[in-house]
Amino acid sequence: MTALQRRIFGIETEYGLTCVAPDGTRRLTPDDAARFLFRKVVQWGKSSNVFLANGSRLYLDVGSHPEYATCECDNFRDAIAHERAGDAILHQMALEAEDTMRSEGIDGKVFLFKNNTDSAGNSYGCHENYLVGRGGDFADIARFLVPFFITRQLIVGAGKVVQTGKGAHFAVSQRADHMWDGVSSATTRSRPIINTRDEPHADAELYRRMHVIVGDSSMSQTTNLLKIATTHGLLCFLEERRTMRDFTMENPVKAIREIALDPTGRTPVRLANGTTATALEIQWEYCNAVTAHAAEAGTHDGLMSRALDLWRRTLNAIETQQFGTVNTEIDWVLKKAILDRAAAKHGMDLDDPRMAQLDMAYHDINRSRGLYNLLERQGLVERVVRDLDVFEAKSVPPQTTRAKLRGDFIRRAKEARRMDRFIPPSRPEIGTDVVGQSPRRFDRCRICTLNRKIDRRAGQPDHPGQLAPGKKFGGDCVKSPHDLRWLAELSQLS
């Protein structure tokens, strides 16, 4: 078995959705907000489950989560551009939904969050897809992949303020607490790190599709590059049957949770052979192996070279706890810096509700409101692709994969107004169960609850119209526009 010289990549992103009134209370249920969000899509596509002219897929997933699945890409630059195009497309849909709502007398703002957890503890995903060769036993490769993915959160996690029995802590990953297995065919009931659903969308005798569901959604382009490129590099290493130290863990589920709560990477994890290793040690082993193989194979150039350099710099930064060399490139480092500045300036602890509000605002995809996007607009973060690349990716598919043919079909169908012939296979109706699972729901309005706590600390009354504690909400809310300006001021971004 030899490494694939041309690998296909794809990323699926689910978004949190809510609609709020000017006073910060919920304006519409998620189902109603989703109907406004997808109204124009349904008008031209005859469905809320459509392919787009750029070859990607857009649909409404269970629990009223908009989902965007990129088209097939065969290079890192295209993969990142098309992933960011999803944000741009959903952002435009949100603005159009607000216009439609206003025309119908509904005063509300639509918020889309590119994060991975809601206030009730449910998780929605960011799934990565990699084409791999069919030769050999996949279990042999998975044995080395699982420890890599368990510890990869240390370099590509999105970061999160989590509440534990011992108080609030900063975790490097949002998804870690929601993984329940190493490798399996489940996706919701027993969510694994690697899903074995084998749908290669290619010659099944030659290829398989590796479906990775452990990763966090990345706001940072460079974090996204690091996530895809390091996984690709490791696959190349393993496909050539190279060997390295076996880091199979005694309890993968316990390990991934313990690692998430330690930004230093030094918590020892017990391995199946009775020894221990830290996440930092494990990542260094993988980094050195992949880097050496890339140099030997002659693939140590371009964006791959940039990703390998970032890998080493990130591990060095974690090792020394000096993050100046990566504080514009790694999501959880960026977020933690925002939280640390806010804490120092305003004397807040992590359990202050304003910290959780900052945490969520980091993931708002609105170009003029989200904290990460404010950093990007001010040139305070590194990028991989330009705005022009993202703009083009919204409507133009990659020209070197099957996405070109699909995109051309959709474009011609739209021109002929015959989209009914190109609707993807139907998915379950919103609100129905999937394989016996209840739909994922936002069971409490996290931000409304945070708003009340903030106002009470400031001696202000509750917002009028907020629901009583314990009553179920349909989505996470944010505060009104003046409070959004407060968020920017609090994080020293404006």
The set of catalytic residues is 61
278 CA to centre of own chain: 25
Query: Rounded to the nearest 10 degrees, what angle do helices 353-361 and 446-457 cross at?
Result: 140
Looking at residue 393, the DSSP 8-state letter turns out to be H
The pair of three-digit structure tokens given for residue 262, joined into one six-digit string: 């330690």
Q: What is the dihedral of CA 469, 429, 439, 107, to 10 degrees?
A: -30
CA–CA separation, 211 and 191 (whole Å): 12
Specify the 3-state DSSP secondary structure of 229: helix
State residue 317 phi and psi, 5-degree precision: -65, -40
CB-based contacts of 479, cutoff 8 Å, min separation 6:
24, 357, 447, 451, 486
Q: Sheet containing 16-20: which strands, arranged edge to edge?
A: 26-28, 16-20, 109-113
- Cα 267 to Cα 257: distance, rounded to the nearest angstrom: 11
What CA–CA distance (Å, rounded) separates 199 from 387? 32
Q: Which residue has the tokens 């939280």?
A: 339
**Short-list 225, 94, 188, 158, CA closest to 371:** 158
Which residue is associated with the tokens 């909400």? 473
In this structure, the chain runs to a length of: 494
Cα–chain-centroid distance for residue 71?
Answer: 16
89 phi, psi to nearest 5 deg: -65, -45
Q: Which amino acid is at 140?
A: D
